[in-house]
Each structure stands twice: as structure tokens, then as C-alpha cells.
Amino acid sequence: MKAALAVLLAVPAALQAAPDTAHDGGHDWLNGTWRAQGDGLLHSLDGKPVPLTAKAASAWARVKPAFLAGDPKVDPARRCKPPGEPRLMADPGTPFSVIVTGPRVLFAYRWNRLVRMIEMESPREVIGPTYFGQNAGHWEGDTLVVDVQGLHEGVALDKSGLPHGEKLRITERFRARDKDRMEMVAQFTDPDSFTRPWSARLVFQRQPGLTVAEDICLDREHLVGKLIDPNKVK
């Protein structure tokens, strides 16, 4: 009892009185900083190859070696363009923090301060496409379900350049495996790129004590001094 009281008193008074919009339904488990496990690639859950259409398979074959080699002429992310989703989330080198509030859930990535805004409402008319798509979320018990549409077709699904089209729709389900691990299962539907819907799983490890520090890609990549082409700026 004394121990419990001591813990309670140790919590800053400000925190105790802060708005409680994040705690409706016990969704606090999602708050915190996470890092993907694995190789940063998407693998079909059924163990089979990703069911690409012939056109998408051809497009992937053309860019895959350059993506994996980090060629900035082919991979926009090497030019500080957003890698998009789910590629950025799947990258073990890029931790991200999640902030849960009642109306919104925000994924804040270390990578160039990028964010993904999940609005907790029904899917609405798409304004886009955008790099992180239009994200409509809802809770099913303690599972966060996100409907993603409007993803810019220039964004690869993973670091190998896995392609998709404008009709892509992703349904993601985030749940806690245990207190320090999170699982996301995503179903991908895109009749232009896939012959059937397929699913992939990502697992994330909580990063206690880690915060998302400021990152400026153009500085990090030493591009600041190389940006101006005076002939193109009138």
C-alpha cells in the first residue's frame, strides 16, 4: 500500500491533472517509441511471393536493384523525399513515436521529422494522393485499425521498391503482443498491382527511454550546399 502511494506521489502533479483523452478504452499501450524488427522488407504472410500483376512485377524488377543499392536517381528517399508507408515504419533504422489522443493518433518518425496523422473517424473523400495517405482509424477493443488510401503511387511499399498503384488500399491492424512488442498486420488490395489481396506482418519492439530527436535530412545527407541550380531559378 505504501509503495503504491509512493508511486502515485512520484507522478508529477501536472501529469495527474492533464486531459485524459488518450485513456478512453485503455489504449495507452500504443504510446511510446517503437522500432521495427526484421529486414525492412514486406513478406507475404502465406509464405508465397507477393502476388504482383505482370506489369507491377516488371516495374519492380526494373527498380529493385537500384533501390536496394540506395541509388538517389531511383529512390526518392535518398533525395530526402518521404519514404512513405509502410516502408518507413518497417525500417529498423528509423524509430518512431506514437502519440494517442482521442481524436487523433500520430506516428512521429525520427526520419526528417515526418509524421503520419491518423484521424479517428470514418474514411472520407480522399484529398491527395500523399506520401502517407489518408489514414482513418478506429479502435476494435485494444486493436487500432487503420484504413489507408490515397497513397502516392511514387512511394514504394518497402525498401526494395515494391510498387503499387493509386487504387491501393491498406487495412492495418495494430495490437500489443506483450507490453514491449507490437504487431501490425496489413492487408494490401490494389487490382492494378496485385492479382489478389495479400497480407504482411511487421513486429515492433518498444524503445524505453528513447525519444524522437530532431532530424533534418538535408543536413544529414550533406545536401544543403548542393541544392541550388541557378539556371533553374529565375
How far apart are alpha carbons 208 and 35 in whole angstroms? 11
How far apart are alpha carbons 89 and 111 in whole angstroms? 10
226: contact with another protein by CB under 8 A: yes
How far apart are alpha carbons 59 and 145 in whole angstroms? 30
CA distances from 15 to 19, 24, 32 (A): 9, 16, 16
Neighbours of 9 (CB within 10 A): 9
Query: What is the smallest separation between the CB atom of 207 and another protein, expressed in angstroms?
Result: 15
How far apart are alpha carbons 151 and 99 in whole angstroms? 22
Binding mask 41-60 vs another protein (x if CB under 8 A, - otherwise)?
A: --------------------
Which range touches another protein (CB under 8 A), out of 50-58, 88-96, 120-128, 178-186?
Answer: 120-128
Complex with another protein: residue 63 or 212, whichever CB lies closer: 212
Nearest to 60 by CA among 144, 162, 149: 162
122: contact with another protein by CB under 8 A: yes
2-41: contacts with another protein (CB under 8 A) = 12-23, 31
Q: Can you tell me whether residue 201 is helix, strand or coil?
A: strand
Nearest to 59 by CA among 162, 200, 199: 162
Size of the site for another protein (CB under 8 A): 63
Complex with another protein: residue 104 or 173, whichever CB lies closer: 104
Answer whether 156's CB lies under 8 Å from 163's CB.
yes
Which range touches another protein (CB under 8 A), out of 50-58, 167-175, 181-189, 223-231?
Answer: 223-231
Complex with another protein: residue 154 or 197, whichever CB lies closer: 154
Complex with another protein: residue 53 or 130, whichever CB lies closer: 130
* Interacting residue ranges for another protein, rule: CB under 8 A: 12-23, 31, 72, 79-82, 99-104, 106, 108, 112-115, 117, 119-122, 124, 127-132, 152, 154, 211-214, 216-219, 223-233
